[in-house]
Structure 1
Amino acid sequence: MLQLQQADIRNRLLGALAPEDFTALAPALERWPLRLHDTLFGAHEPLSHAYFVETGLVSLVAATEGGRIEIGLVGREGLTGVPLVLGTDRGPFLGIVQGGGEALRIPASALREALHASPSLRDVLSRYALSLMIQMGYTVYASAELNVEARLARWILMTHDRLNVEAMPLTQEFMAMMLGVRRTGVTAALYVLTGAGMVRASEGHITVLDRDKLKDLAGDTYGPAEGEYERLLTEA
């Protein structure tokens, strides 16, 4: 059994829990490697676990006959398995590791039992569920209203927030899939961003050079959801 200390936890949700709620969850938590491009759970399939991300990044992906597109991002600010928080056992999206790292995972049954027993735990995780819905709403808005360059700027900012590394391991093929555009569209957008000194692209990696310029390009599709997350977590 892991001997976990709440003060050492990197996941912000686990760190924000009341000590008694963390103590109740801790015996059921296990460390789990997040390997790049692994699928953690399928669409419309019962969730066996929820994953509190410590390092790395998980994409929530909608898959149709026409292809795949990312509709949500989960890093150390959150967890996968929001359907469990909302009282059901599955959702319509895939969970794909976009950035390798590590998570603390908990069996779905153990999380359900803890949620049933603790109103304060339900409150914190429900607030996160709302923040994820807000993030998804702004993703829909960005997809409908922004050009590819601005959407890519927003996506790079969100990924950079969660990976917190200088050179992010991102290929053009993967970015195209996540944004739901052709690779040629990503190539052209990266040309604009690199030419403006916002990022540097080299051999499957993206390095952020100027976050302020990226924010200006993304406009109000980046920032409001992040601010709501901070407000909701602070008020929990």
Structure 2
Amino acid sequence: MSLIEQSAVRNRLLKRLSPGDFALLQPHLRPMATEMRQRLIQPYMSIRDLFFPETGYASITTAGVGKIEVGIIGPEGVVGATPVLLGSDRTPYDHFVQNAGEMLAIGAPEILAATEISPALRRLLLRFVQTLLIQTAQTAFANASYNIEVRLTRWLLMCHDRVIGDDIAVTHDFLSYMLGVQRTTVTLALQLLEGNLLIRARRGRIVVLDRAGLLAVAGDSYGVPEAEYARLIEEA
């Protein structure tokens, strides 16, 4: 199998690496196609691989009864980094594909070995972990402070950040699962956003029509993790 060239990758973290740091990971990167709902990391199971999304994105959810999404990772990051880089081999949370696409997998031992060689690589990956922790904290803030319309709008903006174009593949049932509310509650919130010409809801997908309008609805529930990502990673 030929090595993946850095110029060809779409993952923003991998693109930010120096050529030398990318070369440490390059022999171990394995392309894989993903399917919706495909499980990447199981709760309380040893983590064998980390995943750099190229297209599509993954969800982090609580496990057991009362599941709710606590994180979302797309081409800006790496799935599984938080427990592995912080010295654990497992997590209580479920990690699965929310929007199908392509990822680059790498063994957890290989990425840890590379971070031992390169402090710069470890620093960049830990900066991403910081942005993900901020995202999780912001989700808790939004869930405690805002109604379902605002929470749904924030979630749609986060998904829109991670897709190509304006189409978001999602069902009402899945939205209710992600946001921890009844399906009818999600349907009413979608109808409100659609009535204001911000989105168009179709079976199995939502089309963003007016991102600026969605940003106005979301207010300060959205934007803090995104700004921190720009500061810590894109502007570093």
**Interval of TM-score (by shorter of Structure 1 and Structure 2):** over 0.9
TM superposition shift of 1:203: 1.2
TM superposition shift of 1:234: 3.1
The 5 A counterparts of 1:195-234 are 195-234=195-234
Aligned to 1:68: 67
* Corresponding letter in the other structure for 2:190: L
Q: Conserved in 2, the CA contact under 8 Å of 1:135 and 1:225?
A: yes
Distance 1:140 1:200 in 2: 27
Q: Conserved in 2, the CA contact under 8 Å of 1:68 and 1:177?
A: yes
The 5 A counterparts of 1:1-236 are 1-65=1-65, 67-82=66-81, 83-236=83-236
Which string of whole-angstrom CA distances, capped at 9 and with x for unpartnered residues, describes residues 159-205 of structure 1?
A: 01101233221100001100011101100100110001110001111
TM-score by length of 2: 0.97
Identity of aligned residues (%): 43
- Give 5+ residue unaligned stretches, structure 2: none
Q: Conserved in 2, the CA contact under 8 Å of 1:194 and 1:201?
A: yes
* Corresponding letter in the other structure for 1:121: L
Q: Conserved in 1, the CA contact under 8 Å of 2:150 and 2:221?
A: no
- Give 5+ residue unaligned stretches, structure 1: none
Which string of whole-angstrom CA distances, capped at 9 and with x for unpartnered residues, describes residues 7-61 of structure 1?
A: 1110000010111110010000000111111111111111110000000010001
SS of residue in 2 equivalent to 1:140? helix
Q: Conserved in 2, the CA contact under 8 Å of 1:53 and 1:102?
A: yes
Q: Conserved in 1, the CA contact under 8 Å of 2:52 and 2:78?
A: yes
SS of residue in 2 equivalent to 1:44? coil
TM superposition shift of 1:105: 0.5
Distance 1:76 1:139 in 2: 19
Aligned-residue Cα RMSD (Å) equals 1.0
User: Runs of at least 4 residues of structure 1 off by over 4 A?
Assistant: none
Q: Conserved in 2, the CA contact under 8 Å of 1:2 and 1:30?
A: no
Distance 2:192 2:40 in 1: 34
TM superposition shift of 1:117: 1.5
Distance 1:235 1:205 in 2: 33
TM superposition shift of 1:235: 4.8
* Corresponding letter in the other structure for 2:101: G
* Corresponding letter in the other structure for 1:77: E
Distance 1:92 1:131 in 2: 19
* Corresponding letter in the other structure for 2:116: H
Distance 1:235 1:88 in 2: 29
Distance 1:84 1:167 in 2: 33
Q: Conserved in 2, the CA contact under 8 Å of 1:61 and 1:68?
A: yes
